């Protein structure tokens, strides 16, 4: 099933990367209600954050972004019924060349282990380097329903279903917080207690860049943290985190808030000692003779892994622990 003609493996600084070859892509969407009466440039900057304002200005001016299959000006006002198209020769940010591992495969259910660096589904600058694309187009799983998500930089268990009935049933369990979700994280410093419950509300403070913080006006959030072991040589601890709620970046924000951020999570107080070394060629969009540089990925992986999901009494799934979570 694997179509390796779409990508190539590159070894950069001793690390294997999956690098998608440039390809022509035509994105088609229709004017949503919230876009009505907005000019087209403002809409792209607000809704499609993968690329810069300079890129969108050039794409609209050159006619790579069109409305109703016609070239428009930067101040075109979107209306109900408009069809918006976006055509370009895409390059995608590379991801680690690590396999998606199948943990469980049954007629209704698919449980996989997603490696860090790839997004769960196509989004922003990622399409063929997403987990869902690889499962459907390279591993032969055609009809899949995604039940939940993980951050691109996080590794671990993902639950998918093969039909809408099972999807509805599991979605209900997730919404009721009936599913038990356990993560492993490696944090800075010696964790102070054997166990701690963190009940702090979380608020999104930057929608464009996806940044969150603890704030009294945020959403109720609860994480139970259990100390596993302390590594004196690195002054880091490995902890197990059980999510009671499921807010975006919840574990990352809560651990940072108590003064023990994930050790290499640069968004929330950690330090990335080995930033990715990837050629600039993979961070460009090309249309004709025009080339637009894209923002480079600053981090591909953090020490956070969803390693156990208990769906029901008889559906208890675990993944191998990553090397950074193992005591040496």
**Residue 1: its pLDDT value, please?**
46
Strands 15-20 and 95-96: antiparallel
Identify the band that residue 153 occupies on the pLDDT scale cut at 50, 70 and 90. very high
pLDDT one-digit tens code per residue, 314-326: 999 999 999 999 9
Q: What is the pLDDT of residues 114-124, one digit of tens each?
A: 999 999 998 87
Rounded Cα–Cα distance for residues 28 and 37 (Å): 19
Encoded tokens for 55: 């890129």
The number of beta carbons lying within 10 Å of the beta carbon of residue 55 is 21
Task: List the beta strands (DSSP E) in 51-179.
Answer: 65-67, 70-71, 83-90, 95-96, 101-105, 109-114, 145-146, 155-161
pLDDT band at 292 (very low <50, low <70, confident <90, very high): low
6, pLDDT greater than 90:
no
Q: Which residues are catalytic?
A: 151
**pLDDT score for 242:** 97
Half-sphere exposure of 120 (CA within 13 A, CB side): 18
For the whole model, what pTM was predicted? 0.84
Q: Are strands 304-312 and 155-161 parallel, antiparallel or unpaired?
A: parallel
Report the chain's mean pLDDT, rounded to a whole number. Answer: 90
Which pLDDT score is estimated for 288?
A: 59
pLDDT of residue 173: 86
Provide DSSP, 206-229: ETTTTEEEE-TTSB--EEEEEEEE
Structural domains in the chain, CATH included, are 23-90 (3.10.290.10), 95-325 (3.30.2350.10)
Is a pLDDT exceeding 60 seen at residue 2?
A: no
Residue 297, pLDDT score: 75
Residue 60: its H or E element: helix 53-62
Q: What is the pLDDT of residue 285?
A: 63
Among 8-22, 90-104, 206-220, 226-240, top mean pLDDT goes to 226-240
Distance in angstroms (rounded) separating the CA atoms of residues 119 and 299? 13
pLDDT at 46 (0 to 100): 87
């Amino acid at each position: 099933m694997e179509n390796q003609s779409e990508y190539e493996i590159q070894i950069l600084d001793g690390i294997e990367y999956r690098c998608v070859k440039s390809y022509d892509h035509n994105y088609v969407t229709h004017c949503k209600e919230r876009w009505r009466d907005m000019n087209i440039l403002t809409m792209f900057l607000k809704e499609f954050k993968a690329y810069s304002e300079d890129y969108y200005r050039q794409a609209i001016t050159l006619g790579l972004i069109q409305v109703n299959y016609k070239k428009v000006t930067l101040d075109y006002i979107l209306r109900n019924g408009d069809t918006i198209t976006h055509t370009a020769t895409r390059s995608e940010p590379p991801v680690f060349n690590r396999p998606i591992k199948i943990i469980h495969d049954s007629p209704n259910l698919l449980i996989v282990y997603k490696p860090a660096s790839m997004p769960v589904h196509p989004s922003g600058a990622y399409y063929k380097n997403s987990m869902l694309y690889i499962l459907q187009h390279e591993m032969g799983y055609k009809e899949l329903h995604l039940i939940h998500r993980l951050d691109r930089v996080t590794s671990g268990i993902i639950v998918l279903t093969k039909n809408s009935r099972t999807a509805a049933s599991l979605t209900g369990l997730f919404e009721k917080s009936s599913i038990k979700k356990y993560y492993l994280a490696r944090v800075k410093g010696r964790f102070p207690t054997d166990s701690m419950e963190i009940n702090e509300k979380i608020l999104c403070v930057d929608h464009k860049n996806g940044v969150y913080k603890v704030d009294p006006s945020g959403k109720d959030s609860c994480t139970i943290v259990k100390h596993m072991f302390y590594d004196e040589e690195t002054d880091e601890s490995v902890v197990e985190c059980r999510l009671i709620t499921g807010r975006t970046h919840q574990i990352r924000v809560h651990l940072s808030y108590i003064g023990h951020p994930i050790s290499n999570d640069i968004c929330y107080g950690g330090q990335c000692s080995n930033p990715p070394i990837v050629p600039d060629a993979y961070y460009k969009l090309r249309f004709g003779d025009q080339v637009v540089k894209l923002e480079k990925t600053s981090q591909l992986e953090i020490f956070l892994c969803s390693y156990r999901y208990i769906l029901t009494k008889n559906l208890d799934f675990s993944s191998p622990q990553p090397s950074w979570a193992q005591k040496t």
